[in-house]
């Protein structure tokens, strides 16, 4: 499994460098991201611009990695996904994902959610 990691102050940008995410690779993807110390306390952006195809297990892996961040009270966004995979992912998990066309929009979305969380904590 090939990917690059770019760690920023509050965000980890993970660029998957695979063209296919299938049943064979999906477990490795979930395990690799779960073992990343860089994600501790940081929001996640999945840059999937290289991904051309994914089967149901691959879509589930993307969703699992995404939801793991929310389970940790953090944010996640998916960027660069082609239109076919965007449609498949939103059909499989309707209304559950922040899917945006560009990395820049993903950063904005994640930072806005992070800011909203901070405001909610300040109000309590």
Confirm if 56 and 24 have CB atoms less than 8 A apart.
no
Across residues 67-72, what is the average pLDDT?
93
pLDDT of residue 86: 94
Q: Per CATH, is 3-123 categorized as 3.30.750.24?
A: yes
- How many helical (H) and strand (E) elements, i.e. helices and strands, does the chain have? 4, 7
Q: Judge whether residue 96 has pLDDT over 90.
A: no
Domain residue ranges in the chain: 3-123
Listed in sequence order, the residues at least 6 apart from 82 whose beta carbon sits closer than 8 Å to its beta carbon are 51, 52
- Per-residue pLDDT band for 124 (boundaries 50, 70, 90) equals low
Round to whole Å and give the CA distance between 101 and 104.
9
Q: What is the pLDDT of residues 43-59, one digit of tens each?
A: 999 999 999 999 999 99
* H or E element that contains 44: strand 43-47
pLDDT at 1: 81
- Mean confidence (pLDDT) of the chain: 92
Cα Rg of the chain (Å, integer): 14
Q: What is the pTM of this model?
A: 0.90
Mean pLDDT of 57-81: 95
């Amino acid at each position: 499994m090939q990917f690059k990691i770019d760690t920023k102050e509050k965000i980890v940008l993970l660029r998957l460098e695979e063209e296919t995410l299938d049943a064979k690779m999906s477990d490795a993807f979930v395990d690799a991201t779960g073992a990343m110390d860089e994600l501790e306390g940081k929001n996640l952006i999945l840059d999937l611009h290289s991904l051309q195809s994914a089967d149901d297990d691959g879509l589930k892996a993307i969703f699992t990695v995404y939801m793991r961040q929310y389970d940790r009270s953090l944010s996640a966004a998916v960027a660069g996904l082609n239109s076919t995979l965007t449609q498949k992912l939103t059909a499989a998990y309707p209304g559950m994902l922040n899917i945006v066309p560009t990395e820049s929009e993903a950063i904005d979305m994640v930072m806005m959610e992070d800011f909203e969380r901070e405001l909610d904590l300040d109000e309590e």
